Structure 1
Amino acid sequence: MSTERPFGRALCAMITPFTPAGALDLDAAGELAVRLVAEGCDGLVLNGTTGESPTTSDAEKAALVRAVREAVGPGPSVLAGVGTADTRHTVELARQAEHAGADGLLVVTPYYSRPPQSAVEAHFLKVADATGLPVMVYDIPGRTGTRIEPATMRRLAEHPAIVAVKDCSYDLLASARLIAETPLAYYSGCEELNLPLYAVGGAGYVSTVANVAPRQLRAVLDAFDADDPAEAIRLNALTLPLAELMMASGLPGTVTAKALLGGPPREPLQPADRETVDGLRAVYETLVQAASVV
C-alpha cells in the first residue's frame, strides 16, 4: 500500500482555450493555468478529454504543454494526455510530451478496438518504456469500451514508471482493494467519488469541475486531512449540485466548463445554449456563496 501522491492531491483536467476563430489560444491557456494553481491546484492535466484532445493536432498538443509549463514554472505538476487508439501514435505523443516539458503522462486505455487484457497490458508497458516520465493510467470503460481488469492493474503496478491511476471505473470495491494491495496512487476521475475514494486511501482527484471551482474542491480534501470528516462531508455536499449539472446533464464536461469560463469548443462539440449557461451560473454562484460561509 502506498500513501504517496506523485502529482499532488488536487489536479485539474484543464480545458484547452480557443479563440473565437477556433485557433489554439496559448495566452489564455497560460493565464488559466496560473489562476488554477493560485487557487489551489497542485497540478494540471492537459490534452485529456476535457482538453478536447480528439480535435487538437499533435503540434497543438505540444505547444499547449510548452506554454503551460512556461506559465506555471517548475513547481506544479504538468501531465500530458497522450492516449490514443494506436500504440505507435501514443508512444510518439509520449516522447513529444517529454520533450515539451511534461512531468508525467496520462494514458487512456485504447478505445474502439476493444483489445483483450493481454493487449491492454502490452500497450501500457510499451508506453511506459518509451520515456523517462511517470505514467498515470486512465481507466474509463464507459468511454473506451474496455475495463482495465484488477488482475491487469496489479501486473501494471509492477512497472516502476506506472505510478498512478485516474479512476473512472465506478467500482469502489475494486479500487479500494487495489489501493490496499499495490503502490499505485489512485486519483478520482469522477467528482462524486472524490471524497469516498480519498477516504479509502486515494491520492486525490483529476477534476473537470476544478476548472471553475478549484478552491471549493480542494477544501474538501483539506478538511479531511485536518481530521474533520464532518466538515469534509459538508463541503463535499456543497459541490455536488454543480458537479451533477456539469458532468451528468447530458452535455460533455468540456462544454459545461466553457459555458462558465467562456470560449468556444471545437466541433463536433457545440456551445451550451443560453438556458444551460444561466442554470450553470446560478448553481455556481450558490456554491461560491455557500462555501464562503464559515
Structure 2
Amino acid sequence: MTLPHPAPPAPFGRALCAMVTPFTDGGALDLDGARRLATRLVDGGCDGLVLSGTTGESPTTSDAEKSALVRAVAEAVGDRAHIVAGIGTSDTRHTVELALAAEKAGADGLLVVSPYYSRPPQDAVEAHFREIADAAGVPVLLYDIPGRTGTRIEPETLLRLAEHPRIVGVKDCAYDILGSTKVIARSDLAYYTGCEEYALPLYALGGAGYISTVANAAPGPMRAILDAYDRGDPAEARLAQQRATPLIELMMASGLPGTVTAKALLTSLGLPGGPVRAPLRAAGREAGEELRAAYEALAGARSAH
C-alpha cells in the first residue's frame, strides 16, 4: 500500500505562482488586470501569489507601483491565498524600506533575493538577510538564484539563517539538488523550487512545493503534480510532471525570459498581462504560436486523462 506524502513545512501553501505584473497597452500598471489575473490563479488552484519577483519585472517597477500591486491583489483574493511580496534589491537600506512598505500594503510574507552585482561575501550576505528579517514583521523567504545575482547563498549560510525566527523558507533556483537536500534534512526551512522541472523531484525530497512562472497560464496542470504525490500516487505525479515538460521547456528554457513567454501566452489566451517593459522585448509571432500549441496540447492531454 502506498502511503500519502507527509506534508512538509509550507508556510505559504504548496502551489505558488510567480505572477506577472500586468501593464496596459501604454505600459502603465494595470491594477484591474492584476486583480482579474490573481482571482483566476487562485480559482485555478494557487495557494499563494508571489508579486514583484523576477517574473513580476521588479527591476522596472517603482516602489509605489510595488505597493499598489500588493494592495490590489490582497483586496482581490482576500484570505483565499497568501501574498508574498518580492522586495529584494542590491541595497540593504532600500530593501528594508520595501519590506516595511509591503507589509503595510498587506503582504503576508516577503521574498528577499541575495544582493546582486556587488557580489558580497557570505558573512555580508548573511548580515543583509538578518537586518531585513529583524526589521520585518512577517515571515521571510530567501531567494537563492546565483545565475542572476552572481552570489550563491551557501548551504552553511542558509543553515545559520534558519535559526532566525522570521526566516521560514527558500525559493530555490540554485540548481544544486545535493545542497538543497542537505539543508532540508538539517533545518525546518520550507523549500520552494523556482525551477518547474524540479517540482516533483524536490517535493519528493521534502520540499514544500513550487513558485512557478508556468502557473501564470497553467495553474491546474502544475498543481496536479503535487496533488497526485500527496494522494500517494507517485506514478501519476510522474506523468503529470512529464505532461507539463514541453510547456515548461518552451516557457523557461527556450532562450527567452519567463516573463516574456508568460506574457505572450497570457495575451494569446485573452488574459491580463500586457506588454513587457524595456529592456525586455515581446516574444515574436513564431514563439507565441509555439507556446499556444504547447499549452493546448497540455490542456488536451490533461482532459483526456
Q: TM-score range by the shorter chain?
A: over 0.9
**1:170-198 Cα shifts (integer Å, max 9, x gaps):** 01011111111101000000001111000
Alpha-carbon RMSD? 0.7
Q: Distance in 1 between matches of 2:35 and 2:160?
A: 37
- Runs (5+) with no aligned partner, structure 1: none
Q: Which of 77, 102, 126 is the aligned partner of 2:107?
A: 102
Q: Which of 25, 45, 54 is the aligned partner of 1:49?
A: 54
Q: How is 1:248-259 mapped onto 2 (pairs within 5 angstroms)?
A: 248-259=253-264
1:129 match: secondary structure: helix
Q: Which of 200, 204, 229 is the aligned partner of 2:209?
A: 204
Runs of 4+ in 1 over 4 A off after TM superposition: none
Q: Distance in 2 between matches of 1:21 and 1:151?
A: 46
Aligned residue number for residue 270 of structure 2: none
Q: How is 1:63-102 mapped onto 2 (pairs within 5 angstroms)?
A: 63-102=68-107
Q: Distance in 2 between matches of 1:281 and 1:164?
A: 34
**1:122-145 Cα shifts (integer Å, max 9, x gaps):** 000000011211000000000000
In the alignment, structure 1 residue 3 sits paired with structure 2 residue 14: no
Aligned residue number for residue 287 of structure 2: 276
Q: How far 1:95 sits from its partner (Å)? A: 0.2
Aligned residue number for residue 4 of structure 2: none
Is 2:144–2:152's contact at 8 Å kept on the other side of the alignment?
Answer: yes
Q: How is 1:117-266 mapped onto 2 (pairs within 5 angstroms)?
A: 117-262=122-267, 263-266=274-277
Q: How far 1:75 sits from its partner (Å)? A: 2.6
1:210 match: secondary structure: helix
Q: How far 1:246 sits from its partner (Å)? A: 0.4
Is 2:82–2:108's contact at 8 Å kept on the other side of the alignment?
Answer: yes
Aligned residue number for residue 285 of structure 1: 296
Could you state the TM-score of these two structures normalised by the residue count of structure 1? 0.99
Q: Distance in 2 between matches of 1:134 and 1:75?
A: 18
1:292 match: secondary structure: helix
Amino acid at match of 1:5: A
2:79 match: secondary structure: coil
In the alignment, structure 1 residue 15 sits paired with structure 2 residue 26: no
**1:128-167 Cα shifts (integer Å, max 9, x gaps):** 0112110000000000000001110000000000001000
Q: Distance in 1 between matches of 2:135 and 2:255?
A: 37
Q: Distance in 2 between matches of 1:59 and 1:265?
A: 18
Q: How far 1:3 sits from its partner (Å)? A: 2.2
Q: Distance in 2 between matches of 1:57 and 1:277?
A: 28
Q: Distance in 2 between matches of 1:29 and 1:222?
A: 26
Q: Distance in 2 between matches of 1:83 and 1:268?
A: 19
Q: Distance in 2 between matches of 1:32 and 1:16?
A: 9
Amino acid at match of 2:114: T
Q: Distance in 1 between matches of 2:179 and 2:16?
A: 22
2:111 match: secondary structure: strand
Amino acid at match of 2:94: H
Is 2:42–2:80's contact at 8 Å kept on the other side of the alignment?
Answer: no
Number of residue-to-residue matches in the alignment: 293
Q: How far 1:293 sits from its partner (Å)? A: 1.6
Q: Distance in 1 between matches of 2:283 and 2:178?
A: 35
2:255 match: secondary structure: coil
Amino acid at match of 2:27: G
